Chain A
Amino acid sequence: MSDLHTLSVKALASLLQTKQVSAVEVATRFLARLGGNPHNAFLDVDSEVTLAQARASDVKLADGMAGPLEGVPVAHKDVFVTREFATTAGSKILQGYRSPFDATVVQRLAQAGMVTLGKLNCDEFAMGSANENSAYGAVTNPWDTARVPGGSSGGSAAAVAARLVPAATGTDTGGSIRQPASFCGITGIKPTYGRASRYGMIAYASSLDQAGPMARSAEDCALLLSAMCGHDLDRDSTSLDMPSEDFTASLNNSIDGLRIGIPKEFFGEGLHADVRAAVDGALREYEKLGAQLVPISLPRTELSIPVYYIIAPAEASSNLSRFDGVKFGHRAKDYVDLVDMYKKTRAEGFGNEVKRRIMTGAYVLSHGYYDAYYLQAQKIRSMIADDFQNAFKECDVIAGPVAPSVAWKLGENANDPVADYLADIFTLPASLAGLPGMSLPAGFGAHNMPVGLQLIGNYFKEAQLLNLAHRLQQATDFHLRQPEGLQ
């Protein structure tokens, strides 16, 4: 079967379970497409490891011991540590690093039977909105290779959009699953903070980081998310004590009478007209499906930018202190003493954006500034979370754009980091509140680039978001479109 790479996770799983195709055949087909590393999406591929995993899957399928996703390929964002592939988090400081263990999310997807194709490019330590901050080169957008794929899970989004892998993992700290999903015309979901284990996810901002799946449809995301979530109480101190859930169970529920909140702050003058038109079109589809649009307000939307860019760098400056050239990773060659070794190692190993965030974080945590910046930001964060709870008194879910524009050109914001920060405005509020959020294809905007619709649910309402997304995908075909000239 030559078109295996175009099939969904669900279709591949079904072919594998009914033994119409073997896991080795599937893996071989996908590996064959990775030659030349299209879009610079992958950072590590090892066909021997992948084929060994596929052979093990075929044994389980033959023995009736198969997991629900047995033999289906997946690739992991390079912030998840893996024993069998190198893990760099897109940073030079971790070049060639081999983890002695697998991240819990990696382990859980392997238990469900998934075969790992490799590791995916991303912004260095997940810091970025365009995947231009990777030490291993930018990733290109399959819809227009002169444009960015979004970030920080840009390799994941590009790989799924280019049919290099049917599904991938991503992480979302301030929008890093939703925004690249939107820019690349795919579907991605970030669950409630604490539902997916952070164990083995290289920490950027610990109170915000969450893992989630990226695939072409809500149905495929539901399959992966069901396997990824679940408590990990001994290994992740912020993991929630909640059982696993089958997120596919309510995909087909009726959405008749559901109230969709439309925050007026998401539709202001900063929103580009082409994005607005596509989002409005998706909202009209929801009305046709029986949902009701309700105007709401999230009054502190703009404040989420400074609040996030204080809290996340503060946590990053602390988390990244572990990269000191002693226990793992790069060490500078020439130094006079221990402190000099630290300083040179970190100067050589970290890229510009990472250095900027470490500096900002160290500053806002330093003596005399902690109350004015970090503590103030954490208090406004509480207010932002309260704003959502007030909004959810009037609606069941919230919908709006993912980003103000479609994917921009590579290099466009290269000398202006604040321009990238401002573009995160619609994804940051849900991240700060720890709410589940997702992006699904809503149509196309300027230059025929994909536009995503963002759905935000209350805590633990992932199933409802996926239900809503699935219903739209039953009524529209945007998620089935593929970039022109795809091989």
Chain B
Amino acid sequence: MSLTSQDIDRIANLARLQLQPEEGERMLVQINGFFAIVEAMQAVDTTGIEPMAHPVAAIQDIMLRLRPDVASEPNQREANQRSAPAVERGLFLVPKVIE
């Protein structure tokens, strides 16, 4: 199967990427080139095979852990906001979302 330029536009929107028209065209060719090698995967019979969650689960039971819901870090607001593009009075600034 091949992707179309409509697919590229749709995915670019989902991925929140603005693509220039020629960039989108180049990407279409390159992604379709990649999907040509993905075809081999479709022919594999995976009936009854469990998808892998954690690699080491191949030899031992792996449980995803939960930790107690307690604050473990001191408040570092200033350090955490030091690299933010727009901050005011300790808040991250974004364009207006609600009219």
List A residues at the B interface (Cβ < 8 Å): 96-98, 100, 192-194, 207, 233-234, 237-238, 240, 302-303, 305-307, 309-310, 317, 321, 324-331, 335, 337-344, 346-347, 350, 355-356, 358-360, 362-363, 366, 372-373, 375-383, 385-386, 388-389, 417-418, 421-422, 432-435, 459
Closest 4 pairs between A and B when the two form their complex, measured CB to CB: A434-B55, A378-B51, A331-B85, A100-B79
Residues of B contacting A373 in the complex (Cβ-Cβ under 8 angstroms): 38, 41
Q: Is A192 a contact of B51 with CB atoms below 8 Å?
A: no
Q: Nearest Cβ distance between residue A364 and chain B, in whole angstroms?
A: 9
- Interface of B (DSSP majority class): loop
On whether A310 and B38 interact (CB within 8 A), knowing A193-B56, A335-B95, A459-B56, the answer reads: yes
With a CB–CB cut-off of 8 A, which chain A residues contact B8?
359
* Chain B contacts with A in 37-60, Cβ cutoff 8 A: 37-38, 40-42, 44, 46, 49-56, 58-59
* Interface Cβ pair total, 8 Å cutoff: 173
Bound: A340/B42 CA distance, A: 37
Given A328-B83, A418-B37, CB of A347 within 8 Å of CB of B18: yes
Residue on B nearest A458 in the bound complex, by CB:
B59
Contact check, A207 vs B37: say whether CB atoms are below 8 A apart. Answer: no
Residues of A contacting B44 with CB < 8 Å? 303, 376, 380, 383
Distance in Å: Cβ of B78 to nearest Cβ of chain A: 9
Residues of B contacting A207 in the complex (Cβ-Cβ under 8 angstroms): 52-55
Residues on B with beta carbons closer than 8 Å to the beta carbon of A339: 16
Q: Among B42, B54, B59, B94, which residue has its beta carbon within 8 angstroms of that of A326?
A: B94
Interface residues of B (CB under 8 A from A): 3, 7-8, 11-12, 14-19, 23, 27, 30-31, 33-34, 37-38, 40-42, 44, 46, 49-56, 58-59, 64-65, 67, 72, 76, 79-86, 92, 94-97
With A381-B51, A382-B58 as contacts: A356 and B84 at CB distance below 8 Å: no
Q: Is A376 a contact of B55 with CB atoms below 8 Å?
A: no
Distance in Å: Cβ of B23 to nearest Cβ of chain A: 8
Q: Name the one of A238, A338, A344 contacting B54, with C-beta atoms under 8 angstroms.
A: A238
Contact B30 A356 (CB under 8 A): yes
The answer to whether A343 touches B18 (Cβ under 8 A) is: yes
The residues of B that contact A303 with a CB separation of less than 8 Å are: 40-41, 44
Check A376/B17 contact, CB under 8 A, given A337-B95, A359-B31, A417-B30: no
Given A325-B85, A379-B46, A379-B49, verify A363-B7 contact (CB < 8 Å): yes
